[in-house]
Amino acid sequence: MMNPDTRMAVSTSRRGHYGFKWKFIEEQILALIVEVVVSWTTIFLFLRKALPRRSFEFCNRTMSTIHATLAVCRPGLSLCP
């Protein structure tokens, strides 16, 4: 039978290894979220600047339409060989 201290050391080393992997993945996800938010904000601000006489609601709906179109088309493109 294993010594309880040995089991603790084994489980700690495993947890540490997986913790590093998850930390790396979490950093990638966080970077992706920041990149997406900055991109959509930039597009919205550019749209507001390009169409100064249009209302905020119009630009917001345009952004929603662009987002919905990309959300429908992008998965379809990934399925095509």
3-state secondary structure the chain: CCCHHHHHHHHHHHHHHHHHHHHHHHHHHHHHHHHHHHHHHHHHHHHHHHCCCCCHHHHHHHHHHHHHHHHHHHHHHHHCC
- Under a CB-based contact definition with an 8 Å cutoff, are residues 28 and 39 in contact? no
Q: Per-residue confidence at 8, pLDDT binned at 50, 70, 90?
A: very low
Give 13-56 pLDDT, tens digit per residue. Answer: 445 555 556 677 788 899 999 999 999 999 999 999 999 999 99
CA 15 – CA 17 distance, rounded (Å): 5
- Total-model pTM: 0.61
Q: Per-residue confidence at 1, pLDDT binned at 50, 70, 90?
A: low
Q: Which backbone phi and psi does 54 adopt, to 5 degrees? A: -85, 155
